[in-house]
Structure 1
Amino acid sequence: MTIGHIFHLIHVTGDLAELEAWYDDVFGVRRGFLDNHYLEDEKRDASLVVLGDVVIEPLAPAFREEGWEDYPLGRFYRRFGNHWHSIAWYCEDDIALWHQLQSNGIRILGEAADQPPSEDPVPIFTHPNDTVTQLEFLPTRMAITGLDPRFKPDFDPQWWRTNHPLGLHGMAYTTVLTRDLRRATHTYTTVLGGTVVGQSSSALTGTDDVYIRIGHSLVQLSIPNRGGTLAADDLAAHGEMHHAVCFRVDDLDRAEDYLRSKEIKTVARDDHTILTDPDTTHGAPFRFTCPAPGAA
């Protein structure tokens, strides 16, 4: 059930054109993977855009379609508004993964809900209550894998470091908020096969954190340890869910100056990490980090 690269991170919005223009303007994302795509089965519009080593899916319910609010993504938007939604990974052995999830009591949604994948592969979606946030696993044998620009020989994930004002290396980690750190850690290690690579407490974010390597990416599981923070407010308002994405940059001061020029406000920072105001990033918390010299 090998889990590999992140397929995408979904950023839900009520104005897809505005959000896509923002990603183009602020990050200079690479396009051509999937643009302006409507999916009838989900009544949603979306694109896939590449930023460093990760793909982000700006997504909105198809408001023009009757009944959009009755579909899962429509219900999510009505409840949470603009927010990070979920994490999707590529997986090598989707059949083994399906059985692993089932045997551990993880509810599966979508076409694979009632029976394991067959010769015709389909994405596997988890129930968000069982995996802290919704997770998707896309079999690498599906055709869309071959369209991913990151797997093309001419793709340079360091382009944003050498050519963009942010000096962006790629994704450092993505954060999932939980009320039960032990249960969440069990799910992401024992069930999903991740490896704990660190634990810490952050005065900046006001959280206790466990860092888990899953496939090629790092997930930060976090529980707030005090109130009055972005994490605490998000958990109180929305419950357990996908909370933030953190990108590594070369120079934190330079990155903050650039973000300010794009009207993105800093809500808190220390010597190594910036937390941006989600009101200035379309409802989704972004972080930018520049590790101390000698840090991994």
Structure 2
Amino acid sequence: MSQHPRDTVAPAYRATMMFHPSHHVPDLAAAEDFFRSVFGRDSTPMTILWQGKRDSGPDYSTFTLINDVLFDTIDPRRYILHGEQGYPTVKTPHLKALGWYVEGMTELFGELRGRGIRLLSQLDEPAEGDEPPHAAGAPMPLFFSHPEDTGIRYEFMPPPPGVSPLDPRTEPGWTRPALSADDPLGIVRGSHHTVLTDRPERVLTLVVDVLGGSVIGEGRDEVRGTTCTWVRLADSIFEYAVPDEGTAAHTDWSVRAPQDTYHAITFQVADLAKVERHLASQGVRVAARSDDTLVVDPATALGVPWGFTTAVLPGDDRD
């Protein structure tokens, strides 16, 4: 799997929770409308962080909590750091990256650098030395992995010191919401995140050998047409998937190759027929299906081939 097996001694850092998927869109208002109509969820603008303060802050992002998955939607045109647009403008929405809350940021920073994994600041500048860089304009440590070394640009940040107005999961005692009869999709929980790759060993070095994730299974995703390694890390399951040629997944991966592609999120649901009826009512088409899983057409679903399944992945023993 990797040339760097994880030390048997517990490290001085720990990934505590997946922070969020990030998703780049050309129109934040349209994205909010999509989550409201299709997922039945309202979104919280980033500007809530500056509510009641004299100066307003950035307005490039909005957050949507979908059961246990916090989703971050970004309009790159508004993502201005020190007078420069930090991400290229997009015409078609697409998942971008993901990241984790980490306890022991300095220790993780040193471990990654010691393994030769290059790291970047929020301004995409090389992060060197013994201390991690801070967020642009804030004292919080924040850094990213170099996509050539880890497949995509993964984000690492410390857990918030208190309850975050953008992330209700930081509330003491928070638990995953129970299945609700009012949920138009009947979502039980986030099932897994699909990252497309032709070099699974590259990302497994990060998520297993360094961060301590566990490989819970290997097999096929016949609906998407991929060969998969499933990893549990902190509260989430990640599907590292090598796509078959000729599939929609392979087409998506090839756009960014030889880097990896954050392709999709799949939710576990209670009733697949209910999901399909609601999606049809909102103009979201189904692109592929099996008896227990369906994948939507991203052209009708904010650029994401969302998955919905009544199945549980082999080895997924989360409560």
- Whichever residue aligns with residue 172 of structure 1, its letter is S
Query: Equivalent residue for 1:17?
Result: 29
Whether the 8 Å CA contact 2:102–2:157 is kept in 1: the answer is: yes
C-alpha distance after superposition, 1:18-74 (max 9, x if no partner)? 111111221122544735789xxxx87101121100110111123597998x64422
Does 2:222 match 1:222?
no
Change in CA separation of 1:118 and 1:263 when aligned onto 2, cut-off 3 Å: closer
C-alpha distance after superposition, 1:249-279 (max 9, x if no partner)? 0011111111111111110000121111110
C-alpha distance after superposition, 1:107-158 (max 9, x if no partner)? 1111681232389432121112221111111112556757521232585632
Q: Which moved more, 1:91-100 or 1:153-162?
A: 153-162
- Whichever residue aligns with residue 29 of structure 1, its letter is R
Distance in 2, matches of 1:153 and 1:188, equals 26
Query: Equivalent residue for 1:113?
Result: 127
Shift of 1:293: 11
Change in CA separation of 1:125 and 1:44 when aligned onto 2, cut-off 3 Å: farther
Shift of 1:187: 2.9
Does 2:103 match 1:92?
yes
Does 2:253 match 1:235?
yes
TM-score, scaled to structure 2: 0.80
Change in CA separation of 1:272 and 1:146 when aligned onto 2, cut-off 3 Å: same
Whether the 8 Å CA contact 1:33–1:148 is kept in 2: the answer is: no
C-alpha distance after superposition, 1:197-231 (max 9, x if no partner)? 1111122211110001111111110001x223221
Distance in 2, matches of 1:188 and 1:293, equals 18
Identity %: 28
Distance in 1, matches of 2:153 and 2:133, equals 22
More strand by share: 1
Unaligned segments of structure 1, at least 5 residues: none
Query: Equivalent residue for 1:57?
Result: 72
Whether the 8 Å CA contact 1:125–1:136 is kept in 2: the answer is: yes
Distance in 1, matches of 2:213 and 2:66, equals 24
Residue 56 of structure 1: SS of its match in structure 2? strand
Unaligned segments of structure 2, at least 5 residues: 1-12, 51-57
